[in-house]
Amino acid sequence: MRNVWSISYLGSSSALAVIFVLEYLSTGDKLQLLSLGPICLLPQVQGKTNLVKQYMETVNKIQCAGEEKRVGTRTVFVGNHPVSETEAYIAQKFCDNRIISSKYTLWNFLPKNLFEQFRRIANFYFLIIFLIQVTVDTPTSPITSGLPLFFVITVTAIKQGYEDWLRHRADNEVNKSTVYIIENAKRVKKESEKIKVGDIVEVQADETFPCDLILLSSCTVDGTCYVTTASLDGESNCKTHYAVRDTIELRTVESIDNLRAAIECEQPQPDLYKFVGRINIYSNSIEAVARSLGPENLLLKGATLKNTKKIYGVAVYTGMETKMALNYQGKSQKRSAVEKSINAFLIVYLFILLTKAAICTTLKYVWQSTPHNDEPWYNQKTQKERETWKVLKMFTDFLSFMVLFNFIIPVSMYVTVEMQKFLGSFFISWDNDFYDEEINEGALVNTSDLNEELGQVDYVFTDKTGTLTENTMEFIECCIDGHKYKGVAQETDGLSQTDGPLPYLDRADKNREELFLRALCLCHTVEVKPNDTVDGVTESSELTYMSSSPDEIALVKGAKKYGFTFVGVQNGYMRVENQRKEIEEYELLHTLNFDAVRRRMSVIVKTQTGDILLFCKGADSAVFPRVQNHEIDLIKVHVEHNAMEGYRTLCIAFKEIAPDDYERVNRQLIEAKMALQDREEKMEKVFDEIETDMHLIGATAVEDKLQDQAAETIEALHAAGLKVWVLTGDKMETAKSTCYACRLFQTNTELLELTTKTIEESERKEDRLHELLTEYRKKLLHEFPKSTRSLKKAWTEHQEYGLIIDGSTLSLILNSSQDSGSNNYKSIFLQICMKCTAVLCCRMAPLQKAQIVRMVKNLKGSPITLSIGDGANDVSMILESHVGIGIKGKEGRQASRNSDYAVPKFKHLKKLLLAHGHLYYVRIAHLVQYFFYKNLCFILPQFLYQFFCGFSQQPLYDAAYLTMYNICFTSLPILAYSLLEQHINIDTLTSDPRLYMKISGNAMLQLGPFLYWTFLAAFEGTVFFFGTYFLFQTTSLDENGKVYGNWTFGTIIFTILVFTVTLKLALDTRFWTWINHLVIWGSLAFYVFFSFFWGGIIWPFLKQQRMYFVFAQMLSSVSVWLTIILLIFVSLSPEMLRIVLRSVRRRSTRSNLSCKKASDSLSTRPSVRPLLLRTFSDESNIF
């Protein structure tokens, strides 16, 4: 038998209540859904909760009748009320409003932290060694490896535990904060973590939003509120958010509690600037009213309410599902080249360790092959030892030797490297040269893992607008129907010129002038700062405009120069004051927002006479194809001329829409806005259909000034051997002029163009592209040597080449379909790029910027890439590159928020790379080499000692020395060195960029330096051992005839070792501070004090007092003193000789350089520079 119930459908895009049938098969207890929507039951189905639950599980997975799939959507009932009092309500389950940024809890901290730490190879290796020492009879105590490992693990755990405690404390401050919820027409005080999805929340002025809210109403008449999102994206300007017009009147607790509505929206996703939803509002009438919801209706958690006394909003995303929380769940980790070198060195030293263990194990059994060596009379084997399986005994001996030599792997190096990176990153934040008074901020370090990578950059990818330029727009001139208007208008007359001969008047028609200026006043998203208008009376001179784009403000101010002033928006009407001081009102029907793909924006407005107009502005490439062909020529001349002068140009067009056409357009726009899935794609399709057959009115020219010292920075980077690529969405002519102005292109740079203009000369674009690529490659291969090592030097010695490519040509190269016989376009293109000193990529989409960076990253040799930008369109390339740098600019803080480092200006890149990057790399490279060096010095005497003790695994050093060598005696000096060393003065590094080339290509961690440090350690270790061995050839070293034992022998070697490796670091130090003196001489003094202390007391917890009075008695011998001093001097002699030779060579080079400069100054002639560059310094060469 079949039972049938009716259920109200809430989500129809036509805003009608649809009745669908829910068929219940009682025999199989199955649910068939013929059409789906948010659940709301009529009385007939009340009590059938099993069906409802089954429906709730299925509702987001089935396709609606006539609608898109509901996958990834949620339904929120406002106030958690059913939409009708006669209908049952089933509460949906969403996450609570607790923010959890902490990583651990009290219960899982120990196991989770230990698991994470032992995932590191070095920690796991020492754990294995420790377990071997515990389970196998090894020559050293488990304490020798267990204590250093315990120290490293404990220090790391304390650091991570403290950081997590701070996160817990911050979370509690947020979660326990007070909020007010509207329940049963009353304001109820609750903790923030108690907010549920669907709750109506009241927020007062200057409070932060406790969760993501849909704005229902505010204290203002038009239902708007002003919000700052500085804590989210760093933008400090006020943004306007809107309530839907059906709820703006609900300004009291009682009225807002009576609201019956349901919101359908997308599931939580991290994009701060996208939101898709719709609200279905139910009143006494049968039909529901549906309104679209977008990002302008969404108030984000963490944002702050400003200039508005109070708002009411409904919670749609809570807790860890808010956009703020989703944005802070981590980015992909980037690894530096130094980390890869460390892993390679570890493998080499692990191989050395295994080789040593294998040699000693083999020689032990060779030694024991002689009977009296295997079982001497004084050390007879037990019966158990004689019966032990020989292979097992050999394996045990091999493990014992591994334990004996395991200190060649430096376990404490990882902790030191982490501390060096973390503490070293503060020097960037503390650098006053990075402080910008305009924004009152300095540099910001978002990750300290890449400090040394700043010294290894090969390619710099930079945005143009806001990065090389100020992004401070100034309206320069405009063109109306081919007539140029420049200067300030007097009444209705502008200062008009023509770009070419015209058949009629010397200025445009007055109606066309006014139409153009009205377009500038209406086609934008500019807002007037509150309190500038009082009762309709406006003081035009005091208007303050706000916009996310400086271009829009410049255009509105430009229109104001010519007598048309945008006054603001009031009750949905845009108000404009014309040249006659009359207020004109235009009803804003629709805004077709700007995006990077369309490269244009439009508004549809209705005049007071009832005419419906569309105004459009955008890039010429986006507007010209959509206007009448005969209107283009007059404007195109003006646009190209302005672009050549470096101005940013926009074209203005309009279109009159008939009422019937508007009805159709309006219906399409509403349907697209109501879509929950693929809303952007559907709206873009509608926009594309509307913005056709327009009429071109004119164009504007806006100047974006070059940033201070941008040209000097580009020249310095070029002199340092870096290749600089400019990736911009601007016109080629504008970008080209900027590149000349900032000296990316020099006057003698030969430009190679791969643009639409050069390729369209041929009928077949691919053939012409292949022809140009082949021609350019031949030219460059003849010019430059094939060796990549000499390529950087060749840039300054040979003809310089620059490449210009646009987005469409790049797409052709990346997506070309060639036959297998022809050369690959992409590989030829990359060969050309590698030979060019500078590359300009114009008309680039954000995705193409990331593609360019990825393409260069994957070149042979894996060059290090750096991207720098200031806008949201630069985020993709910033995340793609090895090092991402954000400019704290005027296009928001998306770039700086997603970057590894953020600086206020482009000029700061010079010091960041040439000084900080250089020093960071040199410091950490020296730290890594030094750690392996001192540990090889430490273990080599232990290895040599086995040849003189019958390979019996007898330790050379006492267990206390084994344990404390890396932890106490030698750790602080290298840490201080790696933080404070300046082998070259910072001013010298910034003034002589060529020094950057000396460390490029990971020069200090290549095979040559590694072998030098390794052989130096082998030499010193050999000197330590055999020098002391020859000393012990004398039977007695004391006046009373006492003979020194093996612990004295080992202590002498250890003393020479500690002093030698510490003094070696002192010789390497060029920049001495009181901290260096303290840790170097303090470490040596601590070693002496500890040795006296350790050997001066009988320790009750030790079974053998083998070190008792050894150190004191050792130093009572004059021979020992002389041996220690002599061996330290001999060990350091190669290093001292190298320092002397380097000093002599430096003096010789300096004298030759001064002679060369003197001769160059006599022969230098000034170069002729184009008019565009005459405002810049002629000192284009630093050297």
Query: What is the rounded CA–CA span in Å between residue 1039 and residue 318?
Result: 83
Classify residue 41 by its DSSP letter: B
Residue of 463, 499, 551, 870 with catalytic role: 463
Would you call 841 helix, strand, or coil by DSSP? strand
**500 φ/ψ sector (left φ>0, alpha ψ -120 to 50, else beta):** beta
C-alpha closest to that of 898 among 876, 915, 882: 876
Chain-centroid distance of CA 1113 in Å reads: 59
Contacts 24+ apart (CB under 8 A), 133-139: 133/403, 136/396, 136/399, 136/400, 136/403, 137/396, 137/400, 138/399, 138/400, 138/403, 138/404, 138/953, 139/400, 139/403, 139/404, 139/952, 139/953, 139/954, 139/955
Query: What is the rounded CA–CA span in Å between residue 1120 and residue 32?
Result: 96
Task: Please name every residue paired with 201 in a beta bridge, in sequence order, or none if there are none.
Answer: 181, 313
Would you call 461 helix, strand, or coil by DSSP? strand
Query: What is the rounded CA–CA span in Å between residue 240 and residue 299?
Result: 10
b/e 315-328 (16+ beta carbons within 10 angstroms → b): bbbbbbbbbbbebe
b/e 225-237 (16+ beta carbons within 10 angstroms → b): bbbbbeebbbbee
The token pair at 15 is: 């805003």
Chain-centroid distance of CA 259 in Å reads: 44
C-alpha closest to that of 571 among 583, 557, 587, 555: 587
C-alpha closest to that of 702 among 765, 758, 639: 639
Neighbours of 536 (CB within 10 A): 9
| Amino acid at position 1168, single letter | V
Name the one residue in this structure whose structure tokens are 């062909």.
Answer: 629
Which spans in 720-818 are helix H?
A: 732-741, 756-759, 765-783, 791-797, 807-814
The token pair at 1052 is: 């002498």
Torsion of CA 708, 714, 715, 716, to 10 degrees: 90
Q: Is 799 exposed, middle or buried (0-12, 13-18, 19+ CB in 10 A)?
A: middle
Would you call 849 helix, strand, or coil by DSSP? helix
Name the one residue in this structure whose structure tokens are 């202390």.
Answer: 1093
Query: What is the rounded CA–CA span in Å between residue 1182 and residue 716?
Result: 7
Name the one residue in this structure whose structure tokens are 């405690």.
Answer: 165
β-strands 565-570, 18-25 pairing: unpaired
User: How far is CA 928 from each of CA 82, 391, 473, 869, 1021, rounded to the nearest angstrom?
Assistant: 66, 38, 49, 33, 19
State phi, psi for 753 to the nearest 5 degrees: -110, 130
DSSP per-residue codes, 552-596: HHHHHHHHHHTT-EEEEEETTEEEEE-TTS-EEEEEEEEEE---T
Asked if 225 contacts 240 with a C-beta cutoff of 8 angstroms, the reply is yes
Classify residue 208 by its DSSP letter: B
Would you call 336 helix, strand, or coil by DSSP? coil
CA angle 640, 641, 647 (to 5 degrees): 90
Tell me, yes or no, if 463 is annotated catalytic: yes
* SS3 letters across 774-799: HHHHHHHHHHCCCCCCCHHHHHHHCC
Would you call 750 helix, strand, or coil by DSSP? strand
User: How far is CA 95 from each of CA 9, 211, 272, rounded to the nearest angstrom?
Assistant: 26, 12, 20
Could you give the residue numbers annotated as active site? Answer: 463
